[in-house]
Each structure stands twice: as C-alpha cells, then as structure tokens.
Structure 1
Amino acid sequence: MKIPYALPYIDDQEIAELISTLKSNWLSRGPKTAEFESKFADYVDSEYAVGLNSCTAGLHLAQLALGIGPGDEVITTPYTFVATANTILHTGAKPVFCDIDPITMNIDHTKLEKHITANTKAIIPVHFAGLPCEMDTIMDMAKSNNFKVIEDAAHAVYTRYKKEPIGCIGDMTCFSFYTTKNLATGEGGMVTTKDEELADRLRVMSLHGMDRNAWNRYTEKGSWFYEVIYPGYKYNMTDIQAALGLVQLTKLEEMQSLRNKYSEMYQKAFSNQELITTPFDSSEHTHAWHLYVLRIDFEKLFITRSEFIEILKDKGIGTSVHFIPVPKHPYYKKLGYSIEDYPNASKAYEEAVSIPLYPSLSEEQVNYIIEMILTTVNNSKR
C-alpha cells in the first residue's frame, strides 16, 4: 500500500474550470481573480481580499503596507516554516521570537509581553496546523501597545476562533493555497483585510507599483497609460490559479468534513497511548486540521525519529516533520539566534511526526496508518 504524505483533491470540476479559463484567453490576473477575491472575502467575513502568488508574498506585502522596515521589530513564533521569519528580514526589520505553548504548539500569548519593546511594530501569530491562536489576548495587547497584527493563516482556511472566521480578526490575514493546503491552487495566496486603504496598497505593490488605473489597461475600457507610484513586486495571482480556487472553495465543506472524520479516527486511536501525544483541540474553536502532528516520546523507544520515519516509509506510508524551528537553521544561527532560548519549540520539534491527512485518503488507508504506527511504537519500547 502506497500512501503519499499529501495529495490535492482534484476532480473533473477543476479540470473543466481550467479549460474554460484557458479558452477565455485571459490567463494572468483578470475576471476570475476578481471573482475569487470577492467570494473568498465573503467566506471569511472580510471586506477586502487581494489574490497573490503565495502566502509568503502576502506576509511580505502586509508588512510593507504597514510601513515596517529597518529598525523595527516583528514578533512571531520560532515554530513555523521559515518563510514567516524570512519576510520580516526582507523588510529590513528584526524577527523577535516568542516560544510556543507546549500544549497548543501556537505562540505562547502569556509570554508575549516580555518581548514587546518601543521598536515593536507588529506581531505575526501563526495558526499552527489549523488551530487558532488566542486572538483576543493578542488583539488586546496590540491595541494597548499600538502595534499591528498580521495573521499567518497558511494552515487556517476554514479555521474559526470562537465563532469568528480566521480572516476577519487581525489587521491583515495571509492565506496559502499551496498544493498541500486545505484549499489548493498549486501556488497562490490571499490577504484579507477590512481596511480599504491597506487593500489598495497591497494591490499596487503586488503588480510593480503601478497605480490602480493600470489594472484594467487590457480591457475595452482600459488605457495603455499607467504610472508607477511605488517600486513594487510581481506578486499577483493569475486567473489560472483563481479558476482552481473558485472550484475548491465550493468543495471546501466537503473536503473539510473528510479531514474532520479522519482526524477524529486518529484522535480516538492515539489519545490513550502512553508514548504518543495527540494534537490539541478545543470545542470553543473550529480546527482546520491542515496537519495532523503526533508527538512521540522517542527517548523511551530504542529507535530514533529518523528510523521511525523510515519504517513507515518501508510500509508504504509517507510522513513529514512540521517544523524545523527557525532558530535551528544555519542562517539564523549566524544572526545570533539559538534554539536553546526556545525550549518548548525545541522539544516539540524533537518529538513531532506529521502523518497523512487529506480528503482523498480512504478509511481503509487511515486504519492501516493507525495500525502501522501503533505496531511500530509498541514494538520499539525500551
């Protein structure tokens, strides 16, 4: 049995929409992108949405739109994909890491205050695996200390904090539509905001810094003339990506129900195991279950995590590790960061194994994954 770590959930609906888009002869940013932006904004209860070519682009532009640059500090979690921190460096600002909560694996909101300085301009909370951060505390802290909140929601399409969709809480929220995400367009991202001025800045900066009149220059009502008002970037979404996104958005509830079902099977199977810790969940929030990350006490096994992963690979099961903490990477070590300063992130990394969780799995495959993991752990106890 071959079970890849992740697969997209694509069928004839996406194929038909792509063919329609190709036949329209409008392949870059156009009507499909505008439609996807509008429908996605409605889905997350936001006023505005700006389609981009990645969540990374969104994080970068969101900070630039707020005027973040050299001399500023941006607080985030060390337990994230390195793109979160890289985009802070791209602005010239300094990443400041706050350790994670050992249970939720999200940024520890109780430790945030000690990282706030006069140079703090923003915080980027990351909704790890699809579980929302404690946004009430974060938003209150931002208001009282006069800094902004840019949510990294790469994992959090469908997530709700209490009853509010992620996408309408922070000053800006950045989503990913990478091929493994809950809503996939191959590559792609979106920034949502309720601030029209910020949305306008994002649009200008995402297409070379051309003024708003340039967006329609290839339509019947458009003009060849444009002006560059900012040294911008080529970060825009295309209609090909948006065509996929529009179909995926209509299927999101269906896809999510399968993720929920399989995550419940995993929770039930692993929750009472002595050497396995299951992901935290809360009835107060809605978890998107983008990832299912087991934490295994390898110190009590006679095999290492790498050996565990190889055993599962030999049994036809793909896995991954989320994440290598940012301070462990050589470049960040050169900047003076040390993983020893973030003991909860360090411990989580040493124990983490991400197992397959996606809609195109079958119950038979999920049960096989459960059986192989339990067998491997139980046969490897010291």
Structure 2
Amino acid sequence: MIPWLGEEEAEAAAEAVRSGWVAQGPRVAEFERAFAAEVGAAHGVAVSSGTTALHLGLVALGVKAGDEVVVPSLSFIATANAARYVGATPVFADVDPVTGNLTPETITAVLTPRTRAVILVHQGGVPADLDALRGLCADRGLALLEDAACAAGVRYRDQPVGAGAQVAAWSFHPRKLLTTGEGGMVTTDDAEFAARMRRLREHGMNVSAADRHASTKPVLEAYLETGFNYRMTDIQAAVGLVQLRKLAPTVAERRRLAARYQRELADIKGLTPVTDPEYGQTNYQSFWVHLDERFPVTRDDLLLRLSDAGVSARRGIMAAHLEPAYADVSTPRLPATEDLSLNSLILPVFHGMTDGQQDRVVAVLKGLGGD
C-alpha cells in the first residue's frame, strides 16, 4: 500500500503550522464533522490511532473487567488487544471463509453468560453482513463495536459502512485508503457517547483545551474521570480533510484494479481472489487471494517467487489466536481463520499502479498456476 499523498496535503499541513494552531483545534473539529457526514454518522471523535478508537469505543459501551468480548481472530492484533485494555477477556470466533468476517453462526458458537460485547471487523475492506450481525446483538442485548479500520468508502446495501452503527472505530494509518500519518476516529449517533469520548481523549477534562484557549475569560477546568491522551493534531486533520476529498476516486481506482485482477486470475486453478459480497461493495483495502491444494506451490513459496520477480506481496491477514501474546487464551480450532491466514496472500494494489506493474504480478501467478 502506497499512500496517495501530494502537494495539496503538504500545503494543508504547512498552512496549519503557519496558523500557529498545531494541536487539537478547529481543523480537527472540521475533520470530525466532514468524516462523520461521509460515513453517515451524527458524530465523529478524532483520536490518535485506530487502536485508541477501539479502546474509547469499548469504554463508551461500558465494557469492563470480567466481561467477555467476542472478536475475530482473523484481524490485526489491535482488535483483540482493545478488549484487554478495558480488562475484558477476548473470545476468538471463526469467520466466513469467503468474506473473512464474523457471522451470526460463528458468534453464537462462542457466546457465554459473560459475553458483553462483540467487535466485528470489516476485514480488508470487505463489508460484514450488518443487518444480520446488528440484529443478533440487539436480540441478545450485546454491545456492538464495529472495527471499520479498513472500511473508509465501503458500502453496505447502498449505504456507507458506519451508517446506523452504535459505535464504529476507524484508522488513518498510512496503509489505509485515507491517511493522516497516524490517527483514527470514532463515529456514533449517540450524543452522550460522543461527548464522553471527547472528554476521555483529553484526560477526562470537562472543557477542551481548544475551548479553554478560545474563551475571553479564565476557565477553571475539572477532570471528571480518569482519561487518556488520545488527541489528534490540527496538522493531521488538515491532511485528513484533503484525503477525504480524494476518497471517492481512490476507491474507484482500487475497484478498477481489483476488477482487472479478478479477470486476469479467473482461470487459475486453486487460486480464488477476494470479491464483493452480494450485499455490499468492498474498497479493496486489501486484495487477497486464497490458495487451495490444487495450486502447485505453497503460499510461502509463492511469496518468494513474487519477491524474486520484484513484486512486494504480503502474507494473509494474521490469526491473533496463534500469536504468542494469546498463548494463554484457550481457543478451539478455528478452521476458516487458520486456512485464510496460512493459505492466503495480499497482492499489491495502490493508486498509480500501472497495467504493466499489475501484469508483472499476474505473470508470476499464471506462470505457476495456469493451464
């Protein structure tokens, strides 16, 4: 993933520096409003990373020590870590082998009386089946935090992912389609959740530093609860506002590149490319292919062949339950998760990728798996 950054972002960042307001300030507030509107939410709360967005989301939802939180193992480890940050226990669930996302069946299989919440991930930009998952959580009285770290520009039944979410967490890491370097956002339709998360990101203060500095009279702030330093800077938000204007063409170009991959790779036995689910449109944040026993080499061998050809590919999405950090968590076999993690790889897709660059990737794959 190569970020699409240019002179417009550089100038926006420089203008923020020249303004003298480089910490959380008016550009952050503008970015919050614009991003929330883009994803169909009433409120946006800008934070320092997608991970801190997940943490604040769980705090706002009331998840605490002793609770269990169902999470997909097939996700970057921050998803599971967020549950531990609030003292809860992550419980790993399997995923659908095609979309890589949680399903009502995989969640139900691991529910216990201690289950308090579910973190669903729109994995690699593939939308989860929101109607089914939101309905399950509502029926069971479970809080639902949507990990939309990879989901900017993703659509579910003609609505942006984020519309109607109880709480959704977003990432603006450089590997994401919309980047602020580091940074994240929490979106919600709940005004009380948003107000509390704004306090919590700023040490629990009852008045923001920006509002305090803007006041013409002395302000004596109070600290209402133990909070965190999870603020975004105005420099980051200035870049984010430019990036937000590029989101639609970025998604359109990635979908064009993905469609070209899908056409070119369609006849290779043992190789299945990721595609849109019937209920939504992915942004192809990650374009992965899954290998089965018919493909002539292993995933790791293929990564080496691609590297030798000058192609930078990556292993498939990690399985958190197989990592040393979670060796103490008793988890049954998760067959779809383990298969996807061990037998898939992520092919390069980036803005400005040429047909020739893509053809080089396709040539390696066809050279191994073609008839």
TM-score higher than 0.5 here? yes
SS in 1 for 2:69: strand
Aligned-residue offset at 1:275 = 1.4
Q: Is the aligned partner of 1:370 residue 2:362? A: yes
Aligned-residue offset at 1:224 = 4.6
SS in 2 for 1:190: strand
Aligned-residue offset at 1:204 = 0.7
Number of the residue aligned with 2:320? 326
Q: Is the aligned partner of 1:316 residue 2:323? A: no
Q: Is the aligned partner of 1:253 residue 2:248? A: yes
Number of the residue aligned with 1:149? 144
Gaps of 5+ in 2: none
Identical-residue share of aligned pairs (%): 31
SS in 1 for 2:213: coil
Give the TM-score normalised by the residue count of structure 1: 0.93
- Please, which of 343, 355, 360 is the counterpart of residue 351 of structure 1? 343
Alpha-carbon distance in structure 2 between the residues aligned to 1:368 and 1:356: 11
Counterpart of 2:344 in structure 1: which amino acid?
A
Alpha-carbon distance in structure 1 between the residues aligned to 2:280 and 2:363: 29
Aligned-residue offset at 1:83 = 0.3
Gaps of 5+ in 1: 1-5
Alpha-carbon distance in structure 1 between the residues aligned to 2:18 and 2:210: 21
SS in 1 for 2:102: coil
Aligned-residue offset at 1:306 = 2.4
Q: Is the aligned partner of 1:342 residue 2:329? A: no
SS in 2 for 1:212: coil
CA contact (8 A) 2:254 2:350 kept: yes
- Please, which of 21, 25, 29 is the counterpart of residue 24 of structure 2? 29
Note closer, same or farther for the CA distance 1:221–1:119 as it changes in structure 2 (3 Å cut).
farther
How do 1:273-292 and structure 2 match up within 5 A?
273-292=268-287
CA contact (8 A) 1:38 1:49 kept: yes
Note closer, same or farther for the CA distance 1:314–1:67 as it changes in structure 2 (3 Å cut).
same
How do 1:70-219 and structure 2 match up within 5 A?
70-212=65-207, 214-219=209-214
Counterpart of 1:304 in structure 2: which amino acid?
T
Alpha-carbon distance in structure 2 between the residues aligned to 1:223 and 1:363: 60
Q: C-alpha deviations, 1:153-173, integer Å up to 9, x for none?
A: 011001111122111222100
Aligned-residue offset at 1:109 = 2.2
* More displaced 10-residue stretch of structure 1: 209-218 or 140-149: 209-218
Q: C-alpha deviations, 1:179-223, integer Å up to 9, x for none?
A: 010111110101100000000111111111111354412225464
Alignment RMSD: 1.6
Q: C-alpha deviations, 1:69-99, integer Å up to 9, x for none?
A: 1111111111000000001011111111210
Counterpart of 2:235 in structure 1: which amino acid?
I
Note closer, same or farther for the CA distance 1:264–1:211 as it changes in structure 2 (3 Å cut).
same
| Alignment length (residue pairs) | 371
* More displaced 10-residue stretch of structure 1: 251-260 or 362-371: 362-371
Give the TM-score normalised by the residue count of structure 2: 0.96
Aligned-residue offset at 1:17 = 0.7
SS in 1 for 2:275: coil
Alpha-carbon distance in structure 1 between the residues aligned to 2:217 and 2:160: 36
Counterpart of 2:316 in structure 1: which amino acid?
H
Alpha-carbon distance in structure 2 between the residues aligned to 1:65 and 1:361: 40
Alpha-carbon distance in structure 1 between the residues aligned to 2:217 and 2:262: 55
Note closer, same or farther for the CA distance 1:101–1:222 as it changes in structure 2 (3 Å cut).
farther
Alpha-carbon distance in structure 2 between the residues aligned to 1:141 and 1:316: 46
Note closer, same or farther for the CA distance 1:257–1:280 as it changes in structure 2 (3 Å cut).
closer
Q: Is the aligned partner of 1:47 residue 2:39? A: no
Alpha-carbon distance in structure 2 between the residues aligned to 1:239 and 1:316: 38
Number of the residue aligned with 2:231? 236
Note closer, same or farther for the CA distance 1:307–1:213 as it changes in structure 2 (3 Å cut).
closer
Aligned-residue offset at 1:118 = 2.5
Counterpart of 1:317 in structure 2: which amino acid?
V
Number of the residue aligned with 1:304? 298
Counterpart of 2:330 in structure 1: which amino acid?
G
Aligned-residue offset at 1:272 = 2.4
CA contact (8 A) 2:172 2:179 kept: yes
Aligned-residue offset at 1:286 = 1.7
CA contact (8 A) 2:125 2:285 kept: yes
Alpha-carbon distance in structure 1 between the residues aligned to 2:277 and 2:198: 36
Note closer, same or farther for the CA distance 1:253–1:317 as it changes in structure 2 (3 Å cut).
same
Aligned-residue offset at 1:52 = 0.6
Aligned-residue offset at 1:362 = 1.6
Aligned-residue offset at 1:33 = 0.4
Alpha-carbon distance in structure 2 between the residues aligned to 1:79 and 1:90: 19
CA contact (8 A) 2:68 2:117 kept: yes
